[in-house]
Chain A
Amino acid sequence: MSVNEVQQNKEVEQNWEPKILVFACTWCTYAGADLTGLSRLQYPPNIRILKVPCSGRVNPQFVIKAFQKGVDGVLVAGCHPGDCHYTSGNYFTRRRFLLMRRLMEYIGMEPQRFQNRWISAAEAPKFQQVITEMTEEIRTLGPNRKLRDDQW
Chain B
Amino acid sequence: MVDLTLEIRKTAKELLEKGEAKVVLGWEKGNFPYSTTPVFIDKPEDTERLIWDEYCINNLALYMLDYKHLDGKVGIFVKGCDSRGINRLVQDKQLDREKVILIGLSCPGMKDEKKAKELGPNADIPMAQKCQDCRYPDPVVYDVFLGEKQNKKVPEKIDTSDVEEMETKSPDEKYRFFTTNYEKCLRCYACRNVCPACNCKECIFDQTATGWLAKANNVSNNMFFALTRAMHVGGRCIECGECERVCSVNIPIMLLNKKIIKDINFLFGDYDAGLETEERLPLGGYDYTDPEEFM
Whether A and B touch (Cβ < 8 Å) is answered with yes
The answer to whether residues A3 and B220 also contact, given A99-B264, A146-B175, A149-B214 and a CB cut-off of 8 A, is no
CA–CA, A147 to B226, complex, Å? 12
Picked from B166, B172, B267, B294, the residue with its CB within 8 Å of the CB of A106 is: B166
CA–CA, A99 to B234, complex, Å? 9
Interface magnitude class on chain B: 35 or more
Is A95 touching B259 in the complex (CB atoms < 8 A)? Answer: no
Interface SS, B side? helix
What per-residue 1/0 map shows which CB atoms of B122-156 lie under 8 Å from chain A? 00000000000000000000000000000000000
The answer to whether residues A95 and B218 also contact, given A65-B224, A107-B175 and a CB cut-off of 8 A, is no
**In chain B between 173 and 204, which residues have their CB closer than 8 angstroms to a CB of chain A?**
173-180, 183
Is B283 touching A147 in the complex (CB atoms < 8 A)? Answer: no
Q: How far is the CB of B237 from chain A (nearest CB, A)?
A: 12
CA–CA, A6 to B178, complex, Å? 12
Picked from B216, B219, B267, B287, the residue with its CB within 8 Å of the CB of A99 is: B267
Picked from A91, A96, A107, A150, the residue with its CB within 8 Å of the CB of B178 is: A107
Would you mind naming 23 contact pairs between A and B with Cβ atoms under 8 Å apart? A1-B219, A6-B172, A68-B221, A91-B286, A91-B287, A91-B290, A94-B294, A96-B283, A99-B263, A99-B283, A101-B293, A103-B230, A103-B256, A106-B163, A106-B174, A108-B172, A117-B295, A147-B224, A149-B214, A149-B216, A151-B214, A151-B218, A151-B220
Closest 3 CB pairs of A and B: A108-B175, A91-B286, A149-B220
